[in-house]
Amino acid sequence: MPIVKPLFTPPGALNKEDIMQEMRGTTILAVKDDKGVSVAGDGQVTLGQAIAIKHGARKVRRLYRDRIVCGFAGSTADAFTLFEKFEAKLEEFGGNLVRASVELAKDWRSDKYLRRLEAMLLVADAENILMLSGTGDVIEPDDGVAAIGSGGAYAMSAARALRRHTDLPAEDIVRKSMAIAAEICVYTNDHIIFETVTRKA
């Protein structure tokens, strides 16, 4: 059974492996439950493959009146360019996460400058989690768990196991899963930033 469903994938998109080779050096995880979505990212910045030069970087931030959370993996400079573009799309479409994500993905793939940016975004509001890439993909996970970055597979595996076999809330699942990823991935540390978007009653 497939675990993700593409909301928008343009014809002739690049192989994901081509872009994922650049997506190392961090872990971003998002988990959804009936109360909202929790997102977390670690703080390590690695120079090359051997030297950790910063431990408290903030790779998760709130956008659009604090209603949207966005995390990135990849080049920091490129990610902040994408943050600005994404925030402009959110303003243009009144905070509609899905519409803004699809429009950013279209621009990201077609624009000569933007398509050179080496980053992936994981974005969420209180009801949706989406992964965006420079190949033009906008992917929504079927099970309410998504992750990007070098430690993403470890964090996602832990989150799925906890989600299926415990009654922990999303925030606790994210916290425990990020701790596990930090133990395994050499590009991920335990200086974790957490953000939670709560559904309105």
Q: What are the tens digits of pLDDT across the range 140-172?
A: 999 999 999 989 999 999 999 999 999 999 999
Catalytic residue among 9, 26, 46, 198: 26
The secondary element (H helix, E strand) that includes residue 139 is strand 138-141
Q: Is 26 among the catalytic positions?
A: yes
Give, rounded to a whole angstrom, the gap between the first and last alpha carbons of the chain.
33
Global pTM?
Answer: 0.85
**Candidates 3.40.640.10, 3.10.20.30, 3.40.50.620, 3.60.20.10; CATH matching 4-9+21-198:** 3.60.20.10
Q: What is the pLDDT of residues 36-70, one digit of tens each?
A: 999 999 988 776 666 666 677 789 999 999 999 99
Beta-ladder partners of 52: 46
Radius of gyration of the chain (CA): 16
